[in-house]
Structure 1
């Protein structure tokens, strides 16, 4: 069996067995798993390899691009400003970012950005991946375009641009870029190794993601003017783009966060544990409850799946039948990474890996681990 490193409380020992089995089978190449309970880390394990050639072991400090799991860090950043009273989710975006009112977007509220209901789910063409590295250019482009559906009427997953939208609101309020705000107000106080915009000095410990198999449906058969195609082509970086220094260093709060399961679970333990972890207090119970204000519930017109969105995070619904009833806030990243927060039992669970599977949001590896955690 593949050797698994780290520590685990006895009642969670099965997680190590599950991780070992997926490494043995090849479903995982390298991965990490972490669980916190009452703000304390009870599982911190890792195993496998940091590279596809299996020459470098996945270590305690290996980090990887977690794709849309990054969004939960952007949500938390916005919640911190809401806690401080400087951001109101029900206020118009243009109150903070006046230019956003262009082209019929004057009534869009911040909650619409958080809940994927703004109608601005990607950049209008023409747009390149290089454009989104340029903050001023990319946010100006978003401010200038018109919504693709009536804001507030259903969700359309803001796959790549949500961090730019929320991040610009944060910048207009606070003055700092999202990555800097997150680092200074959340990650560093918690001693958490997660980065939105990675310093080149950290590149040596990054495990490059292993791209997923190609999608098994014909994009050409879909409506080129539909929200789905416009979202996934506006722009459409491949997984290999995350290997580049330009991607790693950019501020892409929807997709380029780098971390491991330990850092993801520890940061989101703030939400699970009533707003405080190890003496670091960021949120009140009242602010945490804002997460559960439903913004959309139905088939998402980008994902094509039923999703129930709260204030940023997805909430318990038919989309996660493997979780028992309860107050959960969760999301995941392209290829498999995931974070689940159980407010009732004060548990946070994270799975982070390098081998991407074909799913846009999670897969059986993370589901099997989550079932083991939340079966109690």
Structure 2
């Protein structure tokens, strides 16, 4: 496998792990990037641009990153808080009066970010076309009764997180969340990152698809436990209902889906852009001022939710919009915050080491959080720092 790109001296373990992902873990096409203290130290890509093609992955090839989009969406509300435009402890209904219906009066903006709002499902799933309509998604979650008392427990809001955040941003700023990200985050950073892909960038994005992992001892250990597998198999469970909030499941390669702004699930990015985004949260990048103040970084990664997740079943930890380092979401260290995407993608920051990390792939697996390929690369970063 030809692997292209560069690694700074000392970060060779990341390159070795990246090559092994192709040799041993069935990688088809992927890229990984790492920044340290605002300087890019890893920028690698390899394989094919399309999961089912032969054209090579190039520098700048982008892919859908699924729920890794949630980390970018979270930054919007935290930046609005940093600018004094939103109060995290205010009820959502202050900004969005229609949301107060059916027992949701006490849902706080903080609860939305920490998956404590109690609305991970909608009683009638939306079609992909309906999910692309912000007015329809806002109506759906505003009219939904909570499935637990808001603020008392947590459960992963797989799709509804994006509808909640997106409507809050629209009510507060008057702009769609995709436009806000383009104007205030991706544009100033020079990052190839979109929530709502412009037509002019369609040729930058490869085709993705589901691929089965090789049957190795490691992959067998990664199979979900019976209780988790049962939750996904039971159509009446919160697990199944949360992921089925859009039915049928959207086609990642559909131009209409890619053009929609779904801030929980359909962001498109290069690995370099994901890493650059996280680098900008914790420090200056290439002369560009950091996005988050140190106080906002601490706010972002302070634990808000932990323990058994009502949707994912396993134990999870969340700050304000980001997953925190733990068993379900192993990142670099105790202070890391970031977000995986279903099937493989991962982005995170680790303020203590100054590391920012981005990984994208075209070959999606059944994993929701700790994908073996991403974890192999994280171990490579850890080895580089230890060496």
* 1:58-69 paired onto structure 2 within 5 Å: 58-69=57-68
The equivalent of 2:121 in structure 1 is 122
Please give the alpha-carbon distance, in whole angstroms, between the structure 2 residues aligned to 1:285 and 1:276.
Answer: 15
* 1:1-376 paired onto structure 2 within 5 Å: 2-25=1-24, 27-213=26-212, 217=229, 222=234, 224=236, 226-238=237-249, 241-273=251-283, 278-320=287-329, 323-324=332-333, 326-375=334-383, 376=385
Per-residue displacement from partner, 1:82-127 (whole Å, max 9, x unpaired)?
1101011111101111111011111100111101110111322142
Q: CA deviation at 1:221?
A: 5.9
Q: Is the 8 A contact 1:154 1:298 kept in 2?
A: no
Q: Is the 8 A contact 1:336 1:363 kept in 2?
A: yes
Aligned partner of residue 11 in structure 2, secondary structure: helix
Please give the alpha-carbon distance, in whole angstroms, between the structure 2 residues aligned to 1:127 and 1:191.
Answer: 34
Q: CA deviation at 1:237?
A: 4.3
The equivalent of 2:217 in structure 1 is none
Q: Is the 8 A contact 2:282 2:292 kept in 1?
A: no
* Larger mean Cα displacement after TM superposition, 213-222 or 294-303: 213-222
Aligned partner of residue 374 in structure 2, secondary structure: helix
Q: CA deviation at 1:238?
A: 3.4
Q: Is the 8 A contact 2:160 2:245 kept in 1?
A: no
Q: CA deviation at 1:229?
A: 2.6
Q: Is the 8 A contact 1:119 1:151 kept in 2?
A: yes
Aligned partner of residue 74 in structure 2, secondary structure: helix
Q: Structure 1 residues 360, 236: closer, same or farther in 2, change over 3 A?
A: farther
Q: Structure 1 residues 15, 88: closer, same or farther in 2, change over 3 A?
A: same
Aligned partner of residue 34 in structure 1, secondary structure: strand
Per-residue displacement from partner, 1:175-202 (whole Å, max 9, x unpaired)?
1100000000000100000000001221
Count of aligned pairs between the two proteins: 371
Q: Structure 1 residues 221, 187: closer, same or farther in 2, change over 3 A?
A: closer
Q: Structure 1 residues 321, 231: closer, same or farther in 2, change over 3 A?
A: closer
Please give the alpha-carbon distance, in whole angstroms, between the structure 2 residues aligned to 1:272 and 1:219.
Answer: 37
Unaligned 5+ runs, structure 1:
none
Aligned partner of residue 210 in structure 2, secondary structure: coil
Per-residue displacement from partner, 1:259-304 (whole Å, max 9, x unpaired)?
111000001112232x766223422111111112322110111111
Q: Structure 1 residues 53, 166: closer, same or farther in 2, change over 3 A?
A: closer
Aligned partner of residue 78 in structure 2, secondary structure: helix
* Larger mean Cα displacement after TM superposition, 24-33 or 154-163: 24-33
Q: Structure 1 residues 174, 47: closer, same or farther in 2, change over 3 A?
A: same
Q: CA deviation at 1:213?
A: 4.8
Q: Is the 8 A contact 1:333 1:361 kept in 2?
A: yes
Aligned partner of residue 26 in structure 2, secondary structure: coil
Which TM-score applies when normalising by structure 2?
0.91
Q: Structure 1 residues 81, 322: closer, same or farther in 2, change over 3 A?
A: closer
Q: Is the 8 A contact 1:339 1:351 kept in 2?
A: yes
Q: CA deviation at 1:362?
A: 3.3
Aligned partner of residue 334 in structure 1, secondary structure: coil
Aligned partner of residue 43 in structure 1, secondary structure: strand
Q: Is the 8 A contact 1:119 1:156 kept in 2?
A: yes
Q: Is the 8 A contact 2:138 2:164 kept in 1?
A: yes
* Larger mean Cα displacement after TM superposition, 202-211 or 80-89: 202-211
Q: Structure 1 residues 113, 58: closer, same or farther in 2, change over 3 A?
A: same
Per-residue displacement from partner, 1:161-182 (whole Å, max 9, x unpaired)?
2121111111111111000000
